[in-house]
Structure formats: C-alpha cells, structure tokens
Amino acid sequence: MAELFDVPLSVSELTALIKKTLEEGFYGLTVTGEISNFRPSSTGHWFFTLKDEGASISAVMFKGSTWRVDFSPKEGDRVVINGSLDVYAARGSYQIKVETMTLAGYGEILAELERRKRRFLDLGYFAEERKRPIPAFPQRLGVVTSPTGAALQDILTVLGRRAPGLDVLVLPAVVQGESAAESIAARIRQANSLLLCDVLIVSRGGGSVEDLLPFSDEAVVKEIAQSQIPIVSGIGHEVDFALADFAADLRAPTPSAAAELVSASYAQLRERVESLAATLRQRTQSRLSIAEAHLARGSRKSLAQRTLTLFGSKEFLLANATRSLTQQIEQRLASWEARLVLAGHRLEALSPLAVLERGYAVVQDLDGRVIASREGTAIGEQLDIRFIDGKRRVSVEEDP
C-alpha cells in the first residue's frame, strides 16, 4: 500500500479508490437515527439527513424503494434504515443509499398489537355474532373524531353530496396522544347512554403506527364491542389498521369511505328519484312534441276537410246499415206471412166442416151430445144427424 501511495494519484483515481473501499466495505448496514431536512423530490426520490446527538450523514431513498415504506416520513421521526454507503464521485461526498425504512420501535409495536389482538379475540370483542347491521336510512349520525381534523371535513363533504338531509352530530374527541384512548371511549359511552344517534362513525385521518395506537387501546375496543349503537370505523388510510376495525360492526378503509357506507341507501334512493324524474321529463317532452305536431297539422281548412271526410264515411256506413235493416225486416215479414198461410191451411184441414164436406155426418142425441158408438144408443131413440147443409132427425131401429 505504501508503494501505491508513493505514486502520485489523480483526484479521480483517489475518489475511485475511496468509492471502491467504502462501497465494498460498508454494505448491508442497519442504522438508527432521527430524520432531519426531509426533502422529497418531484421525481419521487427522498433526500434527507440521518442524525443523532453526535453526528449526521446524508441519505437518499430512490423511488424504486419508497413504496416499501408504510408511513409518511417527517421531520423528527426516529427510524431504522437498511442500506449501504454510496460515494458521489463528482462532489467527493458520500451518503447512505436506503433500501428499507421503519419507525424505531415498529417491531415492538406490532408485537404488542398482535398480543392485544389475541387477547381481545379471546374476550369476544371481535365475535361476528354480536355485530349489528348498519341501518339503511339513519335519522341521525354521530361522528367521534377531532373537530379540527381533515377526517371530519372529508365525512361532511361526502354526506353533503350524498345525504344532505341527514342530521350529523359531532362528538369531539382527542385522537392522538396519551389522553386519546380515554377521550374516544368516553364519547362512545356518552352516545350510548344518551341514545344520541342511530349509527356512529369512529374516525381519524392517517398517521404513523404510534399515532393510531389509541384506536387499538382496550378501553376503545371494549366500548365499541359493547356499544348498542352500530359503529363504522374509518381510521387512517387504506393501508392503515387498528384493532378498533375488528371490533366495529363495519370497517371502512378511510373516513370518506365510512361516510359513503352510511349514506349508501340515501344515495341510491336519490339516484333512483333523479332517474325517474329524468324519465318523466323525457316522456312528457316526447308527448308534448307529438301534440305540437298534431296541432300544427290541424289548420282550419284541414280540420274542415277531415270533418267532412269523417261525416262522409259515417253517412256511408249509416246508409248501408239502413238498407240492410230494411232487407232484414222485409225478409222477416215474408217469413211470418208464409208461416201464417201454412197455419191457416192446417187449421182449415182440421175444421169439422171440412170433414162434413167430404161426405161425413155427425150423430147427436137430442141434447146435442155427439154419439160416437152404437153402444151409446137405444132402440127407438130419436137422434139428429148433422150434414154439411143441415140436420135430419131419425129413429133407431133394430139391426138389419
């Protein structure tokens, strides 16, 4: 090595040697420190300084690695990074090229959350059979959240668009820090003891794992599990989670999504009414257009012509009906007349006079009774015989 340094080196050669030595000798590093001077670039890279009480070092995390970070880094965050040294030859400077980043203590927090989750599960806080349905058309919605946070504004914006008539009651609570858990739990208890609403949203905006810890506290999870009012959780961003999500009757990925779930039936009803109104307007306009077209064709001259045409057609139908009726009456009278003549002939054929004309006579006793058999007479009895042209009286004699 001494012989190497006896030969004069150019700046580039020296820098290349330092780069090779550092990059090959310092890789797979795990370093903890506090973020300072955090500068995200428009290209998606993160530039910042990692420091502690005695020193600082520049750091960069390129866009291809930032997606692995599940929180939003900010000034003062204590983090644990994994990476390697990177030498920038043009400036003769070095920095840490970060591959992964977690909040300091993140692993311990996750382990504690897992322990709580198992205990709450054993206590029945997450049991499906105790969960209540969310009412389709609540009359009043309660919101447990910070009165100054973005989460409340997101919820109110969604409800103003989807269910403007829904009554909203804000139950202000501290949602971060040591007093947050008891503040949130107290508001849930208050809503239940006073029956303040039909459904309750427990919500806050996004944050680090530490920021969301109050929503995984047993005081909050227990109150949610024991609530008689159905509860929708809308905590953090879609990738965030809290143990309150498992106890809630319905979990929404964001505060805005919680408002959408609560107002879903109102929105569907509103859309249905708007659709029916649009259909009614369309059909009404269509009928008005047809009526206007008919009215435009209905000038005085054309109306008179159509009236004459209509009367002419009806007059033709009336003439045909009159002729047909007359023919039917004449045919009916002729039929009745023929039947009457036939009946007269039959009646005449059955007349006793007609029988007498054929040479027959009627035998009667002196009282006028008709004698139809010889047994009805006695020898010497006087009888009348009626002919067609008169009568003769005869006397009954012995049989010849």
Q: What is the pLDDT of residue 158?
A: 93
| From 119-133, 309-323, 343-357, the region with the lowest mean pLDDT | 343-357
What is the predicted pLDDT for the residue at 360? Answer: 76
Burial class (CB in 10 A: 0-12, 13-18, 19+), 138: buried
Residue 229 has pLDDT above 90, yes or no: yes
pLDDT of residue 113: 87
Instruction: Give 195's strand partners.
Output: none
What was the pLDDT predicted at 6? 63
Q: How confident is the model at residue 279 (pLDDT cuts 50, 70, 90)?
A: confident
Domain 2-104 has CATH 2.40.50.140: yes
Q: How far apart are CA 261 and CA 248, in angstroms?
A: 13
- 233 pLDDT higher than 90: yes
The rounded distance, in Å, linking the Cα atoms of 265 and 276 is: 16
- Mark residue 361 as left, alpha or beta (left: phi above 0; alpha: psi -120 to 50; beta: remaining): beta
Q: Give the separation between CA 144 and CA 214, rounded to whole angstroms.
A: 13
Q: Which of 218-227, 299-308, 345-354 holds the top average pLDDT?
A: 218-227
**SS3 assignment, position 302:** helix
How many whole angstroms separate alpha carbon 134 and alpha carbon 200?
Answer: 9
Q: How confident is the model at residue 310 (pLDDT cuts 50, 70, 90)?
A: confident
φ and ψ at 256, to 5 degrees? -60, -40
- φ/ψ (deg, to 5) at 251: -105, 130
Average pLDDT over residues 278-287: 84
pLDDT of residue 395: 84
CA distances, 75 to each of 47, 66, 78, 177 (Å): 12, 17, 9, 18
Q: Which of 136, 240, 245, 150 is nearest to 201 (CA)?
A: 245
Q: Which band of pLDDT confidence, cut at 50, 70 and 90, is reported for residue 347?
A: confident
**What single string gives the DSSP state of each residue in 163-225?**
-TT-EEEEEE---SSTTHHHHHHHHHHHHHHTT--SEEEEEE----HHHHGGGGSHHHHHHHH
**pLDDT (tens digit, 9 = 90+) per residue, 54-88?**
888 899 999 999 998 888 888 888 889 898 888 87
The pLDDT tens digits for 36-48 are: 899 999 999 999 9
At 134-155, the pLDDT tens digits run 998 889 999 999 999 999 999 9
1 pLDDT more than 60: no
Q: What is the pLDDT of residues 103-135, one digit of tens each?
A: 877 667 778 888 999 999 999 999 999 999 999
Cβ atoms 381, 374 nearer than 8 A: no
Distance CA 35, CA 52 (A): 9
Evaluate if residue 4 carries a pLDDT over 70: no
For range 261-279, the mean pLDDT? 75
Residue type at position 40: P
- Rounded to a whole number of angstroms, the CA Rg of the chain reads 58
pLDDT score, position 28: 79
CA distances (Å), origin 24, targets 28, 67, 84, 94, 160: 10, 26, 9, 13, 59
Q: Which residue has the higher pLDDT, 220 or 389?
A: 220
Query: What pLDDT score was predicted for residue 269?
Result: 65
pLDDT-derived band at 193 (thresholds 50, 70, 90) equals very high
DSSP string, 90-140: TTTEEEEEEEEEEETTHHHHHHHHHHHHHHHHHTTTT-GGG--PPPSS-SE
What's residue 399's pLDDT?
67
pLDDT band at 172 (very low <50, low <70, confident <90, very high): very high
- How far, in Å, CA of 62 to CA of 338, rounded? 121
Segment (H or E) for 34: strand 29-40
Q: What mean pLDDT is predicted for residues 282-288? A: 84
What residue spans define the domains of the chain? 2-104, 108-262, 353-395
Residue 217, pLDDT above cutoff 80: yes
**pLDDT on residue 152:** 94
- The confidence score (pLDDT) of residue 175 equals 94
Burial of 240 (C-beta count, 10 Å sphere; 0-12/13-18/19+): buried
For residues 95 and 57, the answer to whether their CB atoms sit within 8 Å is yes
| Average pLDDT of the residues in 355-377 | 77
Write down the CATH superfamily of domain 108-262: Hypothetical protein af1403; domain 2 (3.40.50.10550)
Asked if residues 75 and 51 have their Cβ atoms less than 8 Å apart, the reply is no
pLDDT by residue (tens digit) across 5-27? 566 766 676 667 776 776 666 77
pLDDT given for residue 353 in this prediction = 67
Going by C-alpha positions, the residue among 238, 243, 154, 232 that lies closest to residue 200 is: 232
User: DSSP readout, 317-369?
Assistant: HHHHHHHHHHHHHHHHHHHHHHHHHHHHHHHHHT-HHHHHHTT--EEEETTS-
Handedness of CA 209, 214, 217, 220 (dihedral sign): negative
Pairing between strand 167-172 and 390-395? unpaired
High-pLDDT (> 90) share of the chain, %: 35
**Residue 376 carries which DSSP code?**
G
